[in-house]
């Protein structure tokens, strides 16, 4: 007689069983569980900042959307890591819209996150406001911070947690030449600094991604949008931010 000891994807391991055991085969559901647990990949690391989230959403522009990375950018890394932690309960919603301004997020974000019962919102936007996309008037870094504060208050009113990402460094010359995208670099850096100060003063969570691609134009496909490797570097920085 034989009994099954263990099996992997391609092999069964058996040994002779004592006559007194009869046919000592584990129940199928036990074997299936063993197989499933052995084959299930280990959960990907997730930034500790997001560890308490269950229903997580990202709102923002084309960088948050994952433009220039067919795999979905840093947001897709976060989605995979977040869901793998608890596939039954965790949810992830990428609500970013390419070309959207931070000021424009007020029009749809509160209703969208309320419908999905989101408990944690990541805000990743601002560059388009500083550039004045779609013919709008460019705002200053201080004005942009006020938009951010107002949106945060709207979301937090429903007892949601807000996490803010700073803007990325950009190659403004390449952005103007390749995209007709005009932004004053000093305003981008000033907005980043204002966010960091605001976080310190109010105890809000702000993840500073500005230094990750600073002076690394080769990681930007058009001066603004990170390439796949750039998105990977952003993700790794997010993981390390609170270690």
- Element at 39 (helix H, strand E): helix 28-39
Q: What is the pLDDT of residues 113-169, one digit of tens each?
A: 999 999 999 999 999 999 999 778 999 999 999 999 999 999 999 999 999 999 999
What per-residue confidence (pLDDT) applies to 12? 36
What per-residue confidence (pLDDT) applies to 17? 43
What per-residue confidence (pLDDT) applies to 242? 61
Do 146 and 216 lie in a common domain? yes
Do 107 and 181 lie in a common domain? yes
Question: Angle formed by the axes of helices 141-156 and 185-202, to 10°?
Answer: 40
For residues 101 and 50, the model is more confident at 101
Query: Has residue 8 got a pLDDT over 70?
Result: no
What per-residue confidence (pLDDT) applies to 45? 65
The domain total for the chain is 2
Do 13 and 130 lie in a common domain? no
Do 24 and 133 lie in a common domain? no
Do 54 and 154 lie in a common domain? yes
For residues 6 and 154, the model is more confident at 154
Q: What is the pLDDT of residues 173-186, one digit of tens each?
A: 999 999 999 999 99
Structural domain containing residue 27: 2-39
Q: pTM for the full model?
A: 0.80
Q: How far is CA 222 from CA 43, 125, 129, 180, in A?
A: 33, 17, 18, 10
Write the CATH number for 193: 3.40.50.1110
């Amino acid at each position: 007689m034989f009994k099954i000891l263990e099996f992997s994807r391609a092999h069964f391991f058996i040994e002779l069983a004592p006559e007194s055991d009869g046919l000592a085969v584990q129940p199928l559901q036990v074997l299936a569980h063993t197989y499933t647990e052995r084959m299930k990949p280990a959960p990907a690391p997730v930034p500790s900042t997001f560890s308490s989230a269950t229903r997580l959403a990202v709102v923002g522009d084309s960088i948050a959307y994952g433009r220039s990375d067919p795999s979905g950018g840093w947001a897709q890394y976060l989605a995979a890591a977040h869901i793998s932690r608890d596939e039954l309960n965790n949810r992830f919603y990428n609500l970013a819209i390419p070309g959207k301004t931070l000021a424009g997020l007020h029009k749809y974000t509160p209703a969208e996150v309320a419908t999905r019962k989101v408990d944690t919102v990541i805000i990743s936007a601002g560059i388009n406001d500083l550039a004045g996309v779609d013919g709008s008037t460019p705002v200053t870094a201080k004005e942009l911070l006020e938009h951010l504060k107002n949106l945060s208050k709207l979301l937090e009113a429903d007892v949601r947690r807000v996490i803010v990402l700073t803007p990325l460094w950009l190659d403004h010359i390449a952005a103007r030449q390749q995209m007709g995208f005009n932004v004053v670099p000093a305003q981008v850096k000033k907005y980043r600094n204002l966010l960091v100060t605001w976080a310190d003063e109010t105890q809000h969570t702000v993840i500073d991604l500005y230094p990750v691609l600073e002076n690394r134009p080769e990681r930007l496909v058009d001066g603004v949008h990170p390439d796949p490797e750039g998105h990977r570097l952003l993700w790794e920085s997010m993981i390390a931010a609170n270690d």
